[in-house]
């Protein structure tokens, strides 16, 4: 149990440390897509891409925090899986 708690703490702290870096990276990427017009079928208009960038600016941290919660849940769930040999052989 102490090893599981230690592993979870390292995992969670790593997520929290990387959270602002992920937010900034995606924010710059979304605004770069507004400037650089991707070519191809199904591409969004400049105003749509700008709207997505502003949306990320406003709610990106919340989305990443929710993602941290789900990742933490699955990390703990996988720590206590007992049927790993069955899952691997499927």
Looking at residue 17, what is its pLDDT? 93
Spell out a b/e string for 50-62, using b for 16 or more CB atoms within 10 Å of the CB, else e: beebeebeeebee
- Predicted confidence (pLDDT) per residue in 57-78, tens digit: 899 899 999 999 999 998 888 8
Is residue 56 within 8 A of residue 33, CB to CB? The reply is: no
- 88 vs 76, residue with greater confidence: 76
Task: Report the pLDDT averaged over residues 16-44.
Answer: 81
- pLDDT, position 32: 84
pTM for the whole structure: 0.69
pLDDT of 89 strictly over 80 = no
């Amino acid at each position: 149990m102490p090893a599981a708690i230690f592993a979870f703490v390292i995992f969670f702290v790593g997520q929290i440390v990387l959270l602002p870096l992920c937010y900034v990276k995606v924010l710059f990427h979304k605004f770069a897509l507004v400037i650089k017009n991707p070519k191809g079928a199904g591409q969004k208009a400049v105003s749509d891409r700008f709207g997505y960038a502003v949306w990320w600016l406003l709610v990106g941290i919340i989305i990443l925090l929710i993602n941290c919660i789900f990742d933490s849940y699955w990390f703990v769930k996988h720590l206590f899986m007992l049927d790993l040999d069955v899952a691997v052989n499927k």
